Amino acid sequence: MMDAKRAQEIVDAAEEIAVQCEGQSVWIDKVDKISGSASIHMKEDPSIQKIVPVEQLKENVH
């Protein structure tokens, strides 16, 4: 389970860090630390955008 601090670290990272939401690969666009939510879009279809609780995000660790 991800927290807002880690989600922001991923946004700020120079390298690409793989993240999933509900089994789909996503990009994190913006993190709202106050509400604990993140604005995301799907990697496969960038037109699909959502605001989700950061707890729904999962970092892919290899």
- The per-residue pLDDT for range 13-32, each reduced to its tens digit, is 999 999 999 999 999 999 99
The tally of domains found in the chain comes to 1
DSSP state of 3: -
How much is the average pLDDT of 42-48?
Answer: 96
Q: How far is CA 62 from CA 17, 19, 26, 53, in A?
A: 11, 12, 17, 23
Inform me whether the pLDDT recorded for 62 exceeds 70: no
Q: How far is CA 14 from CA 9, 11, 24, 45, in A?
A: 10, 8, 22, 22
Query: What are the two backbone dihedrals, phi and then psi, of residue 5, each rounded to the nearest 5 degrees?
Result: -65, -45
pTM of the model: 0.92
Inform me whether the pLDDT recorded for 12 exceeds 70: yes
> How high does pLDDT run on average in the chain?
96
1 pLDDT tier (thresholds 50, 70, 90): confident
Domain that holds residue 13: 4-59
